[in-house]
Amino acid sequence: MTPTTKSTGKYFEAVGRRKTAIARVRLFPAAKAGYEINGKTLEAYFPVKEMQVTATEAIANAKAAEKFHITAKLVGGGISAQSEALRHGISRALLVYDVEIRGRLKKLGFLKRDPRAKERRKFGLKKARKSPQWSKR
């Protein structure tokens, strides 16, 4: 995974996932830090403060020397899963930028792709495991 170059300049790219949410993240080294998610600001895309904190945790804990302008394309899932997918993507992109951060991010659990997802519904059952009510007569 090497940094890619385009007309917009050098950036570090990675993909983060959670449940059915997918985040394609690009970190542009910039003088001023900022977020652009699906063409919106972080505050506009994640109105809940808790989601904003989740999304920005990786960059805050990495203590990256350079400031980054982060652009992300989020698809699928709900806003909670999307914020966690964004965190996962930022963590992976930071590894492309600097491998030394790996220990710190791994300890916090930001590099692990959370495998928990909704279990599929089985035939003959009402939900994944809930069976129909049994009646003797």
pLDDT value of residue 6: 41
Q: Which amino acid is at 75?
A: V
State how far the alpha carbon of 15 is from the alpha carbons of 5, 48, 87, 104, 114, in Å: 17, 23, 10, 19, 14
Q: Which two tokens stand for residue 107?
A: 């300890």
pLDDT value of residue 5: 38
Domain-located, residue 137 = no
pLDDT value of residue 63: 78
The rounded mean pLDDT for the chain is: 89
Q: Is the predicted pLDDT of residue 45 greater than 80, yes or no?
A: yes
Select from 79, 75, 64 the least CA-distant residue to 28: 64
Distance CA 87, CA 113 (A): 10
Domain-located, residue 123 = no
State how far the alpha carbon of 108 is from the alpha carbons of 5, 48, 71, 104, in Å: 30, 22, 23, 7
Task: List pLDDT tens digits, range 77-121.
Answer: 999 999 999 999 999 999 998 899 899 999 999 999 999 999 999
- Confidence tier at 4 by pLDDT (50, 70, 90): very low
Q: Which comes out higher in pLDDT, residue 81 or 63?
A: 81
Domain-located, residue 34 = yes
Domain tally for the chain? 1
Distance CA 54, CA 61 (A): 11
pLDDT value of residue 8: 59
Domain-located, residue 75 = yes
pLDDT value of residue 65: 60
Domain-located, residue 136 = no
Q: Which domain range does residue 12 map to? A: 4-108
Domain-located, residue 95 = yes
Averaged pLDDT, 19-35: 91
pLDDT value of residue 26: 94
3-state secondary structure of 133: coil
CATH of residue 52's domain is: 3.30.230.10
Domain-located, residue 51 = yes
Averaged pLDDT, 63-74: 85
Task: List pLDDT tens digits, range 47-60.
Answer: 999 999 999 999 88
Q: What is the pTM of this model?
A: 0.85
Domain-located, residue 41 = yes
